[in-house]
Chains A and B, each alone.
Chain A
Amino acid sequence: MAEGSQYNFAYLDEQTKRMIRRALLKAVAIPGYQVPFASREMPMPYGWGTGGVQVTAAILTPDDTLKVIDQGADDTTNAVSIRAFFARTAGVATTTHTEAATVIQTRHRIPEAPLTDGQILVYQVPIPEPLRFLEPRETETRTMHALSEYGLMHVKLYEDIARHGEITTTYAYPVRVAERYVMDPSPIPKFDNPKMDNMAALQLFGAGREQRIYAIPPHTPVKSLDFEDHPFTVQAFAGKVCALCGATDTFLDEVVMDDKGGRMFTCSDTHHCEQRQQAAERAA
């Protein structure tokens, strides 16, 4: 924040940061386990990324370069707002380049380009409990995790198959981390799930309203739940191509062009798309 500001580096006071870092260390030590933390009111609403913002605030150093994406894009309003918040309160460098960032805060996507050692991916999480919609009570789900009692989740997935012939969860698709905890990957499309597996970057998850932090250390096995005869698959945008860069292997957003069914598809990861467009221009 500007000179003479009343606020500390990256907004949070040092005691709060220490409390969050303790939770983060515990979370890294027990991959996929939800660590309670005393979430603070942030100057932005709950449900708008306060968990991710607190995690980012606790890990940022003045030398960091921050990238913020929402739906994969750097220029969505909330990403703009959060990036401006840290530019203002921490004075850190910001970027839209995935490779240039040391910390990437994200909502609903994992960048298309593989992340590398030393990078940290911070997820904004609305509902951290993967079992919440099967069992609303915290006291119950805590016990289920403690006992690795995940039968209910498998029954849910099985019922999907019985009804529709396939698992109909398309985002926030549950994963098992390091063969122990079942974890909610936050509402990323299941298209992104395989990127979590053995990722070189550290993955941190912050749920502000629900007061939970969890983590996946680098190079940790992350398996999307499935059955032997119904293996996990990701969305395939069969035959669809990004109208801007021509990519066929990325997650595509559908843009409604008119009221006559006109549609076009573009990469949800705007930086990845721009890079491909620039590369194409150079080659031309």
Chain B
Amino acid sequence: MYVAVKGGEAAIEAAHTLLAARRRGPRDLPGMTLAQIVAQMAYAVDRAMAEGSLYDTELAALAIKQTGGEMIEAIFLLRAYRTTLPRFGVSRPIETGKMRLDRRISATFKDLPGGQRLGPTFDYTHRLLDFALAAEGEVPTPVRADRDAEPIPRVSDLLKGEGLVEPDGAATPHEPRDITREPLTYPLTRAERLQALARGDEGFLLGLGYSTQRGFGRNHPFAGEIRIGAVEVELDVPELGFAVALGEITVSECQMLNQFTGGGLTDDVPPQFTRGYGLVFGRQERKAMAMALLDKALRADEFGEARQAPAQDEEFVISHSDNIQASGFVEHLKLPHYVDFQAELDLVRRLRTEWEARQVKDAAE
């Protein structure tokens, strides 16, 4: 009778078999290997790792393959896997000043120590479909620069000498709270906020970051520096008494320099530029930039700025930035709600009857 609305175990299983077949596509085409995905869909892999909060290119590739490129589902797979992993320690802060640079640009200086280095970038490409690629045209061999003999200092370190830029401040003496292991309680510390932004949905961050440029939370940023490259992750091992290198990860870092504060007649700090910070796994400078815009906007209280725009509202931004939470709750509307709907239906019918009775009565009078 109402089998249609109440599915069974068999229906679920059949649906999953259909899904797997749909993912695989025509069997006469070769299946993609994980190595191909890691190598040729690297940006998708990076996004899955960043929003999945798990740096593992192979697993990210598996997730993308398993979901047929449905990115939020792929991110979800990584998250659900990640949460089952034991947490065995906290690494030392990564030193982005010692990054092995692939790319490094600054919009605030024409030239600077270490130079501007475009690296592999979409910037300045003409967005024209490359029909040769459809026919599997080969690509020319790139020219690669030699490795830097010395690490290239960050722009913020270069400006530090003059005191023109808000300093880094000391690293937190204690371990920062891990937002994946402890519940979020508002208001957040900046460390917690940055963690949430780093795993937040790229599109959501992009839109909100954009809003700060259009007057919803005045921000007036300069891209002080964007750098992308590999950094070493080190772990202190108490038994050994020194740090052990665990491996390298590729990250994108963005430092926005923002309109200055201080220097007023009543201020106790000199005028200086403030900063917004973005750091994301992989090559994702767009997200790193958006994150830096939001970091600055969300520091409104620190700088005594009025919190008026959505991007400045911590509870609004952070509570809604997680695409796994968001997609789950939006999509749960697919689940049956007929009990609640029935309760409403009943009420609306009754109110209607009463309303109609009133109309008749009014007309009669």
Contacts and interface: CB of A to CB of B under 8 A. Distances in A.
B343 A39 contact: no
Given A76-B336, A171-B343, A255 B2 contact: yes
Interface stretch (A25-33, A67-75, A151-159, A222-230): A67-75
A46 interface: yes
Contacts of A11: 84
Most buried by A among B1, B6, B351: B6
A163 B346 CA distance: 18
A95 to B, nearest CB: 15
How big is the A interface, by class? 35 or more
A47 interface: yes
B213 interface: no
A45 B332 contact: yes
Nearest to B15: A77
Nearest to A8: B84
A189 B9 CA distance: 27
Interface stretch (A78-86, A177-185, A195-203): A78-86
Given A41-B82, A139-B315, A76 B7 contact: yes
Nearest to A254: B342
B185 A36 contact: yes
B301 to A, nearest CB: 12
Interface in B14-65: none
Given A41-B80, A47-B328, A211 B184 contact: yes
B345 interface: yes
Interface in A164-191: 164-165, 168, 170-172, 187-191
B339 A80 contact: no
A109 B336 CA distance: 12
A108 B7 contact: no
B6 A38 contact: no
Given A139-B315, A164-B351, A191 B331 contact: no
Contact of A80 (B1, B8, B337, B354): B8
A170 B343 contact: yes
A37 interface: yes
A48 B335 contact: yes
A253 interface: yes
A84 B80 CA distance: 18
A71 B345 contact: no
Taking chain A's interface residues, is the majority helix, strand, or loop, or is none over half, making it mixed? loop
Contacts of A189: 339-340, 342-343
Most buried by B among A73, A172, A268: A73
B325 A72 contact: no
A48 B342 CA distance: 20
B187 interface: yes
A170 B184 contact: no
Contacts of B1: 255
A3 B184 CA distance: 36
A45 B339 contact: no
Contacts of B335: 48, 70, 77-78, 107
Contact of B324 (A7, A46, A109): A46
A217 interface: no
A72 B339 CA distance: 8
Interface string B256-280: 0000000000000000000000000
Contacts of B6: 73, 75-77
A50 interface: yes
5 contacts: A45-B331, A76-B7, A77-B6, A77-B8, A255-B1
Interface of B: 1-2, 6-9, 11-12, 76, 79-80, 82-84, 86, 180-187, 315, 319, 324-325, 327-332, 335-340, 342-347, 351, 354
The 3 A-B residue pairs with the shortest CB-CB distance in the complex, in nearest-first order: A46-B328, A47-B332, A45-B328
